[in-house]
């Protein structure tokens, strides 16, 4: 009998244990969530301007629960990665020179298969780099290194209908839709800077001159994409010349007053939107202000009225930007001379604004000689350039000696006095014959190496045009940044010429390799 009861007791105990074990298993998660990788490592120092997201990747598909993620104690909204089911993106808005602690609590990230399966608690410590500042007395050299070789997003946001609050009905001139790939591929190619040329007047409400919100957001998105790719950005007023009537303003005070009110309203809005952006962003007051004669108009005979008016406008822009505070208090600002022509930049009539931050740069453009670089198909067009060009096929007085003389004068007046100068536009259209393109390539290399020699960064004009002849300035697709017009070799040559510190690679060595 005792044996019988012992057997019954044994079976009861076994059944109870089995039941409890099953209940415990039912409470256990069916999967285990483990962190596999993270885009920022523990203790890393990152760039505040380009580090905009932390990506955490796990061993299994996950989702966020909406709570439990903090950055320095402030809640952050994490998101499931749109392209990977096993990754989570945590957006970051970082300041320069700051220590950060990011925490992801248990339960903030869970398995998509089993909500009881949580990723373990995660803590990350990292810092951001201190603000990028030049050494005292080295501002000009600093700008040359920082801007390096750059590229213009031309014929996109600078598209103009010539009318207020009336965008061009056919869309952007370049026919492109920029993506993040445009900027990452530019950076990968070796570019340091992108000049985002922007016309604002077509998107302004007359009277208040309020800029359309959607247009501002589109420009801002591209600025942020470029910054995230590690590029510097120069943002300006471009083809707003249709309302920036320099001749009218110079001859009528009421006209000038009204234009100045609009300049102030426009730049105040731009500066407010971008005032928290880091040192990757530069402003440029205007593009090519002139009366239609490109330096050969009434400016030659009006006793300096137009020059004084432009000086006044430039001062107004600097005052307006500085007044918005934030990073705009010390942001670098490019100041163009009349028509952005280097010849006017070295004249006494061009006066740089007063700036308490001492962060101004001189902006010039260089397309000399335009008969070779812009309009070779015209009746007076030229197919060759330089000391080896055939007689009658080059523009007299515009060969290598002209480039050197122009850049030397800029260097002597500004750079030697620690005032930066940058060539905001330069370039040469693709020609239609192989021989002409040999001279084109030589011209582009020589100009870039001369700019490097005299301490100036250069920014190439690109209008996304494929083919050859007048107005064909295409090097990269404005949509995704892939090369067009078989331009990779010449682009790489220009980047080397504009940035290489190789002491054996001299302007003379370029000169000695001119086409024969």
Q: What does the pLDDT read at residue 135?
A: 79
Domain interval for residue 328: 139-511
Query: Do 219 and 84 share a structural domain?
Result: no
pLDDT in the model for residue 24: 47
Inside any domain, residue 459: yes
State yes or no: pLDDT of 17 exceeds 80.
no
Residues 497, 130: Cα–Cα separation, whole Å: 30
> How much is the pLDDT for 26?
47
CA gap 301, 43 in Å, rounded? 64
312 lies in some domain? yes
CA dihedral (266, 267, 270, 276) in degrees, to 10, reads -160
pLDDT tens digits, one per residue of 162-190: 999 999 999 999 999 999 999 999 999 99
- Give the single-character DSSP code of 69: E
pLDDT per residue over 444-466, tens digit each?
999 999 999 999 999 999 999 99
The answer to whether residue 22 sits within a structural domain is: no
Average pLDDT, the chain: 93
> Any alpha helices (H) in 160-302, and if so which ranges?
180-189, 213-228, 246-251, 253-274
Q: Are residues 305 and 353 in the same domain?
A: yes
Are the beta carbons of 109 and 102 closer than 8 angstroms? no
CA atoms of 201 and 182, how far apart (whole Å): 26
Q: Categorize the per-residue pLDDT at 366 as very low, low, confident or very high, splitting at 50, 70 and 90.
A: very high
Q: Which two tokens stand for residue 95?
A: 């300041």
118 and 190: one domain? Answer: no
Q: Is-contact 162 242, C-beta < 8 A?
A: yes
In terms of domains, do 269 and 313 share one? yes
At residue 37, the 3 state secondary structure works out as strand
As a whole number, mean pLDDT of residues 380-388 equals: 98
Is 482 found in the same domain as 378? yes
* CATH number for the domain harbouring residue 55: 2.60.40.1220
Q: Are residues 359 and 507 in the same domain?
A: yes
Q: How far is CA 30 from the centre of its chain?
A: 48
From 128, 154, 169, the end of a domain falls on: 128
Domain assignment present for 454: yes
Task: Kindly state whether residues 95 and 145 are assigned to the same domain.
Answer: no
Instruction: List, as one string, the DSSP characters of 290-323.
Output: -SSSTTSSGGGTSTTHHHHHHHHHHHHHHHHHHH
> In this structure, what DSSP letter does residue 476 have?
B
In a shared domain, residues 429 and 449: yes
Residue 459 contacts by C-beta under 8 Å, 6 or more apart in sequence? 147, 149, 150, 151, 152, 193, 195, 234, 422, 423, 424, 425, 426
Q: What is the mean pLDDT of residues 326-340?
A: 97
Q: What is the pLDDT of residue 93?
A: 78
Are residues 429 and 461 located together in one domain of the fold? yes
| Residues 188, 290 within the same domain | yes
How many beta carbons lie within 10 A of that of residue 208, not counting itself? Answer: 9
Q: Domain count of the chain?
A: 2
Q: What is the CATH number of the domain that holds 175?
A: 3.20.20.80
- Condensed to tens digits (0 to 9), the pLDDT of residues 462-487 reads 999 999 999 999 999 999 999 999 99
Q: How far apart, in whole angstroms, are the C-alpha atoms of residue 44 and residue 438?
A: 47
Residue 309 has pLDDT above 90, yes or no: yes
| Most confident segment among 81-85, 139-143, 146-150 | 146-150
- What is the band of 95 on the pLDDT scale with cuts at 50, 70, 90? confident
Give percent helix, percent strand, percent coil of the chain, each to the nearest 5.
35, 15, 45
Which pLDDT score is estimated for 28?
65
Query: What average pLDDT does range 15-26 have in this prediction?
Result: 48
Same domain, yes or no: 322 and 467: yes
Model pLDDT for residues 487-507, shown as the tens digit of each residue: 999 999 999 999 999 999 999
pLDDT, tens digit (0-9, with 9 covering 90-100), for 390-434: 999 999 999 999 999 999 999 999 999 999 999 999 999 999 999
CB–CB of 119/58 below 8 Å? yes
CB contact set of 396 (below 8 Å; sequence gap of 6+): none
Q: Is the pLDDT of residue 23 over 60?
A: no
- Which of 89, 109, 128 lies at the terminal end of a domain, its last residue? 128
Last residue of a domain, one of 96, 128, 160: 128
Collapse the DSSP code of 365 into the 3-class scheme (helix H, G, I; strand E, B; otherwise coil) and give the result. strand
Structural domain includes residue 148: yes
| pLDDT mean over 198-222 | 98
Distance CA 299, CA 239 (A): 20
Asked if residue 2 belongs to a domain, the reply is no
Question: pLDDT-based confidence at 130, cuts 50/70/90?
Answer: confident
- Give the mean model confidence (pLDDT) for residues 265-287: 96
377 burial level (CB within 10 Å; 0-12, 13-18, 19+): middle
List b or e across 462-481, with b for residues whose CB sees 16 or more CB atoms inside 10 angstroms: bbbbeebeeebbbbbbbebb
Examine the domain organization and report whether 168 and 113 are in the same domain.
no
| CA angle (403, 139, 307) in 5-degree steps | 60
Q: Would you say residue 443 has pLDDT above 60?
A: yes
User: Is 134 part of a structural domain of the chain?
Assistant: no
Residue 3 in domain: no
- Mean pLDDT for the stretch of residues 90-110: 89
């Amino acid at each position: 009998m005792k044996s019988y009861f012992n057997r019954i007791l044994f079976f009861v105990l076994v059944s109870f244990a089995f039941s409890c074990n099953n209940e415990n298993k039912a409470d256990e998660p069916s999967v285990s969530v483990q962190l596999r990788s993270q885009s920022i490592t523990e203790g890393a120092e990152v760039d505040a301007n380009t580090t905009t997201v932390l990506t955490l990747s796990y061993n299994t598909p996950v989702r966020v629960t909406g709570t439990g993620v903090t950055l320095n104690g402030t809640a952050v909204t994490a998101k499931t990665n749109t392209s990977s089911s096993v990754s989570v993106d945590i957006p970051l808005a970082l300041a320069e020179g700051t220590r950060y602690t990011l925490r992801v609590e248990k339960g903030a990230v869970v398995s998509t298969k089993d909500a009881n399966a949580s990723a373990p608690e995660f803590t990350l410590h990292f810092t951001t780099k201190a603000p990028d500042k030049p050494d005292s007395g080295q501002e000009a050299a600093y700008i040359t290194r920082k801007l390096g070789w750059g590229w213009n997003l031309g014929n996109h946001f600078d598209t103009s209908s010539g009318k207020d609050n009336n965008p061009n009905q056919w869309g952007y001139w370049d026919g492109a839709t920029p993506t993040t790939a445009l900027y990452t591929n530019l950076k990968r190619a070796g570019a340091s800077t992108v000049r985002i040329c922007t016309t604002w007047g077509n998107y302004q409400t007359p009277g208040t001159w309020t800029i359309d919100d959607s247009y501002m957001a589109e420009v801002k998105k591209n600025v942020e994409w470029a910054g995230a790719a590690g590029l510097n950005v120069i943002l300006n007023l471009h083809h707003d010349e249709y309302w920036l009537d320099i001749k009218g303003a110079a001859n009528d005070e009421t006209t000038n007053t009204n234009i100045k009110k609009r300049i102030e309203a426009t730049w105040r809005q731009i500066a407010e939107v971008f005032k928290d952006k880091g040192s990757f962003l530069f402003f440029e007051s205007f593009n090519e202000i002139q009366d239609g004669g490109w330096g050969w108009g009434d400016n030659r005979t009006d006793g300096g009225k137009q020059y004084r008016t432009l000086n006044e406008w430039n001062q107004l822009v600097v005052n307006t930007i500085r007044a918005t505070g934030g990073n705009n208090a010390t942001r670098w600002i490019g100041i163009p001379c009349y028509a952005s022509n280097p010849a006017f930049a070295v004249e006494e009539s061009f006066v740089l604004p007063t700036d308490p931050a001492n962060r101004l740069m001189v902006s010039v453009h260089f397309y000399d000689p335009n008969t070779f670089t812009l309009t070779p198909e015209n009746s007076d067009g030229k197919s060759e350039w330089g000391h080896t060009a055939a007689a009658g096929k080059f523009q007299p007085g515009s060969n290598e000696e002209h480039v050197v003389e122009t850049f030397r004068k800029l260097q002597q007046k500004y750079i030697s006095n620690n005032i930066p100068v940058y060539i905001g536009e330069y370039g040469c259209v693709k020609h239609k014959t192989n021989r002409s393109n040999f001279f084109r390539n030589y011209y582009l290399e020589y100009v870039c190496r001369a700019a490097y020699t005299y301490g100036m960064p250069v920014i190439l004009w690109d209008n996304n045009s494929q083919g050859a002849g007048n107005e064909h300035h295409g090097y990269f697709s404005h949509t995704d940044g892939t090369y067009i017009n078989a331009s990779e070799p010449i682009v790489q040559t220009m980047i080397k010429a504009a940035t290489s510190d190789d002491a054996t690679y001299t302007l003379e060595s370029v000169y000695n390799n001119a086409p024969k």
